[in-house]
Structure 1
Amino acid sequence: MAAGDRAVEALHSLVLASLDDDQALDTVSIPLAGKSSIADHMVIASGRSTRQVASMASKLAEKIKAETGRPTRIEGLPTADWVLIDAGDVIVHLFRPEVRSFYNLEKMWSFGEAPAAPEPAAVNEPSPGNA
């Protein structure tokens, strides 16, 4: 594994560990390497409230800066319904659950997965005797 790959994986592990420490809900990591040029990993997680989302984002940004020496870009911190943390090779989206389900980024960024087949609709056809 190249030094750059190890650095990316270390950053990814740091993000996941920080979110786990802060009791993030439903953490999902989507590999983007070779599929998108924006990052190698996208991590999506939820917090129970705007306060928890803001706290997780602030702590994560501090840990990334302390560990890598690189500052992160943060969007959405004042309202903390949806906070985006751009750490370069890892993009992190932190949501309140209602906002996360509305935007459904996991579905948007799922590559190569066949969409679930829709449930067949119940058809109320008239019976031959009632036509």
Structure 2
Amino acid sequence: MTDLNNIVLNALDDLKAKDVVRLEVAELTDVMDTLIVASGTSNRHVKSLANNVAMEAKKAGIMPLGVEGEGPGEWVLVDFGDTVVHVMTPATRSFYDLEKLWSQAPKSRLDQAQDDGSPAE
């Protein structure tokens, strides 16, 4: 996992993101290598999570290429090029179901035990 992905995952964990999933999509698209999806408990929480991701990356000298959706806060996308972060409310996440859309990608759910009972990555 790249340093950026560690920064993103730590920034999400710092503010208690829910249901964080990392999808490795490099073999499915030329647009990005990693897709990180997380949920916030409210619009305010979604905006705070996305802002924390951008701020922590900036502290490490990594500038996002763009941030979209901060106004409504139901779905905020932070684009770093090779890594794209989607932070959504649970209802928005359920409606768009990005994990199913990218279901061919190897997935790691980072906040739950794996199916075999071993700790998550």
Q: TM-score range by the shorter chain?
A: 0.7 to 0.9
What corresponds to 1:54 in structure 2? 47
For 1:6-45, what aligned pairs fall within 5 Å after superposition?
A: 9-45=2-38
Contact kept in structure 2, 1:76 and 1:82, CA below 8 Å: yes
Task: Point out where structure 2 has 5 or more consecutive residues left out of the alignment.
Answer: 107-121
| TM-score in terms of structure 1 length | 0.76
- 1:70 equivalent in alignment to 2:63: yes
Aligned length: 106
Q: Which structure's relative contact order is higher, taking Cα pairs within 8 Å and 6+ residues apart?
A: 2
Could you tell me which amino acid in structure 2 is paired with residue 74 of structure 1? V
Task: Point out where structure 1 has 5 or more consecutive residues left out of the alignment.
Answer: 1-7, 114-131
| TM-score in terms of structure 2 length | 0.81
Contact kept in structure 1, 2:12 and 2:52, CA below 8 Å: no
| Larger strand share, 1 or 2 | 2
What corresponds to 2:116 in structure 1? none
2:75 to 82, 88, 91: 82
> Is the radius of gyration larger for structure 1 or structure 2?
1
* Equivalent-residue separation in structure 2 for 1:25 and 1:59 (angstroms): 15
RMSD: 1.6
* Equivalent-residue separation in structure 2 for 1:30 and 1:69 (angstroms): 20
Divergent runs of 4+, >6 A? none
- 1:92 equivalent in alignment to 2:91: no
Percent pairwise identity: 40
| Larger helix share, 1 or 2 | 1
